[in-house]
Structures are given as C-alpha cells and as structure tokens.
Amino acid sequence: MACILVFIEQRNGSIRKASLEALSEARRLASGAGWSVCAVVAGHGVAAKAAELGAWGAGRAYVAEEERFARYSSEGYAAVVRAAAEKCAPVAVFMAATALGRDLSGRVAARLGWGCFADVTKLAVDGGTVKAIRPVYSGKALASVDGAGKPVVVTLRPNVFPAESAGGAAEVEPLPVVPAEIRAVVKEILAKEGGELDVAEADVIVTGGRGIKGPENFALIRDLAKVLGAAVGASRAVVDAGWIEHSHQVGQTGKVVSPSLYIACGVSGAIQHLAGMSSSKVIVAINKDPEAPIFKVADYGIVGDLFQVVPALTEEVRKLKAEA
C-alpha cells in the first residue's frame, strides 16, 4: 500500500503544532486514496511522544532516538528522513513549512532526487500522485504544481490545514542508528526577549506601519496584540527605518502569512505588503486615509486616527474576553 511519510518536528521534546497539521492533512488525503500514513521523528527523549502521533493519523511512527538528534541539523535529519523513506517507500514526504522544514526539505529532496512543493496551501491526490497549490510572487498569484508523476517532498504552510485528533495509537518502530556526517552543528539557541510569538506561526497578527509615527508607539500595537494573544507584525517601511526587527516583517521581503485574523494599523498597503497577508482569513484595517490600498483587501475597517482607535479597540476586546 502506498503511503505518505510525515516528518514530525520537535523542539525541546515537544511536538510542534504545524507538524500535527501536516499529519492531519496526510490522513485526510490518504483516507481518500486508500493509502497509509507513517510518521518519522528525530530527537532525544521523544519515543514516548511517538505513540501519541496515532491520534493525529500516523499508523506507524519511526523514531530516531539519539543525543545528537536533540537539536536540528539538516544533514542528520536528512539521513533520518531518508532511512524512514527507505523503509516505507512513500509517494510523498510531508513536513511543516517552518524555519526547520523549509531548511530540511531542500536537502531531503535533493538527497532523494525528488522535487519539492514549498509552502503549499492546498493539496489533492490525483492519478495516484500528490498535487498542490502554492502561493507564488509572495501571494500575488497561485501556482498549481505537480511532480511529473514522481514522488515529492511537500512543505505545508502553518495555520492553513486544520489539526484533527481522532484518538488511536501509532505502532512505534525504532529507526536503527542512522550513520550521518553532521558538519553544520547548532551550538546554541538564542531566544528572543519576552518569548514573543512569531508572525509565521501566529493565528492572529496585529501589524504596525508607518502610521504609528515612531518606534515607541509599537506599545499600542503590542497592547492590542497582548489582549488578542497575537503576534506583532510590521511593514517594510518601519523595519527599514529600524523601528523593529526584520523578523516581524510581513510582505514580499518578509514573511508571507495566513492567520485567521490580521489587523493592520497605520499600514497603507504597498503591493509588497498586500502580497504577504492578503490570504489571511479576516483582514481588519485601521488607517486615517480612506483611500489607503489596505482598505481594498479589508473585510472590516475603521477610517480614523489609530492613536484613538487602537487603544479603544484594545479596551473593547479586553471587555469581550472578560465576558467570555
């Protein structure tokens, strides 16, 4: 029976939500096609977690349990994925399009000699192979891609595919020690101060643009983000002005995001920015210029002074959350 192999990402022994999304999507596709789903996880002290992957769709979970796999390395993890692929001969290898997945996928695809569909937002099985739709030109267009009938590696954009648990346990199979030359080694992980949520993973994003007038006013954006449990985004203009780090930038030279709710405050909506966020499910714009292009993609908007509107909105959300 054909199978989809899903690479499961862990950080400090915890399985990432985006990997469960990829696993759930694999199950949905496999159940329609009569295929099975296998998972593979690399790490140290992760074996106990592997059986739980059954609830999310894995019939079998391969575990490469080794101290040197505790932290990510593209060479080590690529060897693990290849070893698992040799066991189950999948038609596709799925992984989450996280920082890790987008790094690993290229090396794995080249090692297997397969193509790769990067950062996909829609998947289907057709004629016994996996096909996908993926945003290109930072979301200005959508490309339909196929693997010319051959197996492929696929990275799935976080927050797009629902993670669905249905109970059940996976059959855990240890992957024997995988010989792998690891030359690029992670020595240390530097966490950002305050452990801020990253825009690439967030379900809600509040973004500040040039309209906030100065770096100190990101406090208004952060306040609203905090009551919503949201990540803080930024337009290119404010990143280039040095008001906030690049990791917050949304748009063509930043991150392309698809959260459930995107609130743009003082963002005019340059074409590069719109490309990066217009696939968000609900878009809210707050801007004093009624002609700002951001309103053309907004589901809801307020024409007004963000210095008055944003604090008022923060207060209203706080009240609603308190009632709930």
Find the binding residues for another protein in span 273-302 (CB under 8 A): 278-279, 281-286, 288, 290, 295-302
Question: Quick check: 308 binds another protein (CB under 8 A)?
Answer: yes
Find the binding residues for another protein in span 156-175 (CB under 8 A): none
Question: Quick check: 102 binds another protein (CB under 8 A)?
Answer: yes
Q: Which residue number, 168 or 304, has a Cβ lying nearer to another protein?
A: 304
Q: Which residue number, 63 or 275, has a Cβ lying nearer to another protein?
A: 275
Find the binding residues for another protein in span 231-260 (CB under 8 A): 239, 245-247, 249, 252-254, 256, 260
User: Of the candidates 100, 212, 232, 257, which one interacts with another protein according to CB under 8 A?
Assistant: 100
User: Helix, strand, or coil here: 43?
Assistant: strand
Can you point out the beta strands (E) in 44-109?
A: 60-65, 92-96
Give the position of tokens 């809801």: 300
Q: Which residue number, 48 or 271, has a Cβ lying nearer to another protein?
A: 271
Question: Quick check: 261 binds another protein (CB under 8 A)?
Answer: yes
According to DSSP, the β-strands at 3-8 and 10-11 are unpaired
Find the binding residues for another protein in span 106-135 (CB under 8 A): 106-107, 109-111, 113-119, 131, 134-135
Question: Quick check: 35 binds another protein (CB under 8 A)?
Answer: no
If one counts every other C-beta atom within 10 angstroms of the C-beta of residue 173, the result is: 16
**Minimum Å distance from CB 197 to another protein?**
7
Q: Which residue number, 216 or 323, has a Cβ lying nearer to another protein?
A: 323
What number of chain residues touch another protein (CB under 8 A)? 105
Q: Over the range 115-137, which residues count as b (16 or more CB within 10 Å of their CB) and which as e?
A: ebbbbbbbbebeeebbbbebbee
**Minimum Å distance from CB 167 to another protein?**
27
Q: How far is Cα 263 from Cα 230, in angstroms, rounded to an integer?
A: 10
Name, in order, each residue with C-beta under 8 angstroms of 113's C-beta and a sequence gap of 6 or more.
none
Question: Quick check: 179 binds another protein (CB under 8 A)?
Answer: no
Can you point out the beta strands (E) in 199-299?
A: 204-208, 231-234, 261-265, 282-287
Find the binding residues for another protein in span 74-93 (CB under 8 A): 74-75, 78
Give the CA dihedral 318, 157, 268, 238, nearest 10 degrees.
Answer: 80
Contact 5, 39 (CB under 8 A): yes
Question: Quick check: 191 binds another protein (CB under 8 A)?
Answer: yes
Contact 95, 26 (CB under 8 A): no
Q: Which residue number, 59 or 243, has a Cβ lying nearer to another protein?
A: 243
Question: Quick check: 1 binds another protein (CB under 8 A)?
Answer: no
**Minimum Å distance from CB 70 to another protein?**
13
User: Of the candidates 138, 159, 217, 258, which one interacts with another protein according to CB under 8 A?
Assistant: 138
User: Of the candidates 67, 188, 216, 291, which one interacts with another protein according to CB under 8 A?
Assistant: 188
Question: Quick check: 48 binds another protein (CB under 8 A)?
Answer: no
Give the CA dihedral 16, 236, 229, 220, nearest 10 degrees.
Answer: 160
Q: How far is Cα 222 from Cα 232, in angstroms, rounded to an integer?
A: 6
User: Of the candidates 139, 209, 211, 269, which one interacts with another protein according to CB under 8 A?
Assistant: 139
Give the position of tokens 């739980």: 52
Give the position of tokens 């690049």: 246
